[in-house]
Chain A
Amino acid sequence: MEKYTTYDQDVLVVGAGGSGLRAAISICQAGLSCGIVTKSLLGKAHTVMAEGGAAAALGNMGEPDNWKVHFKDTMKGGRFINNPRIVEIFSKEAPDRVRELEEYGAVFDRTPEGLISQRPFGGHTYRRLNHVGDRTGLELIRTLQDKVVSYKPIVYMEHTLTRLLMDGDRAVGAFGYNRQTGEFVAFRAKAIVFATGGWGRMYKFTSNSWESTGDGAGMAYEAGAELMDMEMVQFHPTGMLWPPGVRGILVTEAVRGDGGILKNNKGERFMFNPEYMPELYKGQYADTEEEGYRWLTDKVNNRRPPELLPRDVVSRAIYKEVLAGRGSEHGGIYLDVSQMGAEYIKRRLPSMWEQFYSLGGIDITKQPMEIYPTIHYTMGGIWTESETCSTSIKGLFAAGESAAGLHGANRLGGNSLTDILVFGKRAGDHAAEFAKNADFGKIDSSQIEEEANTLLAPFTNPGKENPFKLTQELQEAMQEGAMIARTEESLTKALNKVMELQERAKSIHVEGDRVYNPGWHTARDIRFMLKTSEIICRCALERKESRGAQWRLDYTDASEEWGKINLIAQRDGDAVKLIHRPVPAMAPELAAMFEEIK
C-alpha cells in the first residue's frame, strides 16, 4: 500500500479563505488544536480577490438602516428560496463580525465621524458595504490571517484533500496529497469544517481562480451529503471582455455604485428601459437619468439608478441588449465612469483603474470599459443546518461559498464577505463544541487505499486523454449550455457532453512524477468539476421556471410552486438523486415584519 503521513487535529478546517480562517479563529479561541488545509499559499484564497465590500447594516451613513432592512433585501434578492432563519442570523450578526475585524487590525475607509464608511451596492436599500477602496477582500483575508497566525495553528499550505474519510455515517478525517512533494497525507479529526469555496471554474469566462473546482461540494457529495440549490450559479454583469487575455476578470459593482453607467452601442442607458424592470423592484429605482445622477450626490432624496438592480437582472438585460444587436464592438456592453473625473476615480477605484490600465491598456478615466457577464459565484452548495452549520453528515460542518441557504436564487453583492464571517464563526464555534464532546473516530484504511489508487491511476492509465483538454471542453460545454439563458435543449446538450466527458475522464493519462505536477492535480480536480457540472445541469433541468440566476427561456416566469421548493441533490450510487424539499417557513414575527416594512 502507498505510504502516507497521518496528522491528528481536534478540528480540521479545509480552506483558508475568509470562512476557513474565521472558523479557525473560533476553534483556536476554544483552546482546541486546529489544522488549516489550503490548496494555495496562505492568504491567496479566492477571498483575496473580493473588491466592493462587506454588507452589514451598521447604519453609519445617516440612513435608517438596520438588520431588518438587510434581512428583507437579502430575501428579496434571493427570490425567497433562501432559508429565512439563516438570513435572520446573518443580518443580525453581520455588524458585530465586521466591527470585530477592526479589533483584529482591519483598517476600513472612514466617514467624517470616524466610523466605517459604507458604499451603495446592487439590491441593498441603503449604503451598507463596508469597504477599503476596492480591495476589501484583501483587507479581510489579511486581517484574519494575521489574527489566526497569532494563535499558531498548523497551516498545511499547498495540500489538496480529495476524500472525506468516513466512519459509518460520521466524517472522521480526510485524505489527500501535498502538492509540493506529491506525498499522501491523511488527517484524523474530531470535527471537520468545509470552507472550500465555490466552483466557477466550470465555465469558460470566469472571475474565479483555478482553486474553484468545487472540491468541497464534490467530496461531501461523494460521502453522501446533501447539496442544495445547485442550479443557482451567479453571473456577474460586469466582467472584462477585451482584450481576450483578460476576458472574465471581474469589474467590481462598486464602479456602478460610484457612478458608472451602462450604455449600448447607441449610447443609451438601456437599464432605464422599463422592460428590464422586474415587478418586485418597481418604483424603487430612479425613472430618469437626471434622478440617477442626482442620487450620486444626494442619496437621501433620490432613488438609485437601475444599473444597481440585482445582478441577475442586470446580467439578463445585457444579454438581451447584445442579442438585439445593440452590443459593443466585441459583443458586450459599455460601462463608463469617465464622467466622474480622474481624481475621483483614482481615489475611489484605484485597483480597477490599475487593472484596466496595466492589464487591458485602457484608461478608465478617459474611455469606457467593454464588459460582459462573467461567472462569479455559486449560491448553492452543501446543505447546512441554520444554527450550527452542521451538514447532513455527522461531524462535518460547512460555511462560506461552499454552503447553501443564505443567498437563495441570487446573491446580493457584498453579502458573501459577511457570510463568510458570520457563518465561519458559527461553523468554528459549533465544530469546536462538537469536537469537545467527541473522540477521534476510526480511520478505515481501505478508503485511503481506494483513494490513493484513484489518485495514482492517471500515471499508469493506458488511455491518452489530456486533463487540460477535458477541462477546456467542459468549460465550453457549460458556457454554452448552462450560462445565463437556459433551455431544456441547451441544458440537455451540456449534460450529455458532461456525461461523455465523465466517461473519457476515466482514461486520463499524465506524465511526470508527483512533485508539483499540475497535470496530475488537474486529473483529480476534473472529476469534481464533472460531477458538480452534472448536478448543476440536472437541477437546472428540473427547475422548470425562471428565478434569480436560473433563467429558462422555455419557462420565463417564476412559478408559485417552485418558489416553495429547494432542490436537494444527493448521491445514489452512481446516479444523482433529486429531492424537492419545501423552503423552510418564515417565523411569524419575521413574516409580520416583512409585511410591515414592505
Chain B
Amino acid sequence: MRDKVTIRLFRGNADGGTETDYEVTTFPGMVVLDAIHQIQGTQDSTVACRWNCKAAKCGSCSAEINGRPRLMCKSHVEDFADSNGLIRVHPLKTFPLIKDLVTDVSINYRTAEKIPPLTVSEDIPRPFKMQQIDVERIQEFRKCIECFLCQDVCHVLRDHNRKDGYFGPRFMIKIAALNMHPLDSENRLRQLKEEGGIGYCNITKCCEEVCPEHIHLTDNGIIPLKERVADYYYDPLKILIRKIVGPKKR
C-alpha cells in the first residue's frame, strides 16, 4: 500500500471553484472520509463535508469519487487511487452546491412530504398481525439510508433535470414500501403515474448500481410498480373488466 495519496478535491461554491490537491498519509483500512478529515485537521480546517456515522449507516457522506457517486466512509483509499496515487473527490452534481462537498439536497425532503403516510383502516384489529413473508419485501426498501446517491445518478434528474416531473428512485421505493404494505389502504397508483412521474424512469438501473444498501430498486421496486400502474391505467383487458365488473376493493 502507498504511504501517501493525493486527494484532488473540489473546493468552491456554485460561483466557481478549483480542484486542489492535498497529500494525505495513509493507514490500513483508511477510507476517503478519513482522508478528508485528515485534510481538515492538519491542512485546511475550512474544507466542508457532511458525515455522521462513519459506518455506512446514516447516508450523510455522499460524494462523487472519481466521478461516480459513493459513500466516502465506505470507499477505501487503496481501491480508488490511480497509478499516480490520485483520487478525485467531487460533490454530488445533481443538486445545487453549497460549498466544497456539501450540496443542497433539500428537494428530497420536499418530495418526501408529498407522499401520504401509511394509512390503516380502523377495522383492522390491533396489535397488527403480519407474517414475515408479507413484510420481507418492504423491509428491503426500508433499508434505505437516504444517501440520495440514486437520486444523484438518475439521469432523469441528473442529465435532464426533470425534478419537476419525477420523484426519483428513492421515492419510488418509498412509495413501493407503502403500496406493498399488507395493511395500507391508500391508493397510490395515481400519484405514481401523475405527480410521481414513474413513466420518466426508463429502468436503466443506475440507481441500483450505486445503492450502498444493495437495494434492488428497479427489479423489486420500480418495475413491480410499473406493472401495477399498467394494470390500472394501460392494460386494455383489465380496464375493460373493471368497467364491467366495477372497481375491485382493496
Q: Report whether A244 and B28 are in contact in the complex, using a CB–CB cutoff of 8 Å.
A: yes
Question: Which residue on chain A has the smallest CB distance to residue B57?
Answer: A49
Nearest-CB residue, chain B, relative to A247 = B29
Chain B's closest residue to A522 (CB) is B45
CB nearest to A142 among chain B residues: B142
Known A41-B50, A110-B131, A138-B145: A246·B45 in contact at CB below 8 Å: no
A249 at the interface (CB under 8 A from B): yes
**A contact residues around B59 at 8 Å (CB):** 44
Which stretch in A80-88, A405-413, A463-471 binds the other chain?
Answer: A463-471
Number of residues from A at the complex interface, CB < 8 A: 67
User: Of all chain A residues, which has the CB nearest B49?
Assistant: A518
Of B51, B74, B129, the residue contacting A358 (CB under 8 A) is: B74
A511 CB contact (under 8 Å) in B29, B46, B73? B46
- Cβ of A101 to closest chain B Cβ, rounded Å: 11
A209 near B: Cβ within 8 Å? yes
B127 CB contacts on chain A under 8 angstroms: 99, 102, 115-116
Once A40-B52, A180-B102, A359-B31 are accepted as A-B contacts, the answer to whether A138 and B57 lie under 8 Å apart by CB is yes
- Do residues A107 and B52 form an inter-chain contact, with CB atoms below 8 A? no
A339 located at the interface, meaning its Cβ lies under 8 Å from any Cβ of chain B in the complex? no
Q: Mark A105-119, 1 if CB is under 8 A from B, else 0.
A: 101011001111000
Chain B neighbourhood of A516, CB < 8 A: 48, 98-100, 102
By size class, the interface of chain B is 35 or more
Is A515 at the interface (CB under 8 A from chain B)?
A: yes
- What are the residues of chain B within 8 A of A246 when measuring CB–CB? 29, 55
Q: Does A298 belong to the interface (CB within 8 Å)?
A: no
Contact of A152 among B45, B113, B139 (CB under 8 A): B113
User: Is the Cβ of B143 less than 8 Å from the Cβ of A138?
Assistant: yes
**A157 contacts the other chain (CB 8 A):** yes
Judge if B6 is at the interface, Cβ distance under 8 Å: no
Q: Complex formed: what's the CA distance from A359 to B58 in Å? A: 15
Q: How far is it, in angstroms, between the C-alpha of A249 and the C-alpha of B104 when the chains are bound?
A: 28
Contact B146 A43 (CB under 8 A): yes
Within the complex, what minimum Cβ distance (angstroms) separates B179 from chain A? 12
- Is A150 interfacial (CB 8 A cutoff)? yes
CA distance A439 to B53 in the complex (A): 39
Q: Within residues 190 to 221 of chain B, which ones have a CB less than 8 A from any CB in chain A?
A: none
**Cβ–Cβ contact A510 & B112, under 8 A:** no
**Interface residues, chain B, with chain A CB atoms under 8 Å away:** 13, 27-31, 34, 40-42, 44-60, 73-74, 76, 98-100, 102, 104-106, 109, 112-113, 116-118, 120, 126-132, 135, 138-139, 142-146, 177-178, 181
19 further contact pairs, Cβ within 8 A, besides A48-B58, A135-B143, A517-B45: A44-B58, A103-B118, A105-B181, A107-B177, A109-B132, A113-B129, A138-B143, A142-B142, A209-B53, A209-B54, A209-B58, A243-B29, A244-B30, A466-B45, A468-B45, A516-B100, A518-B48, A518-B49, A522-B45
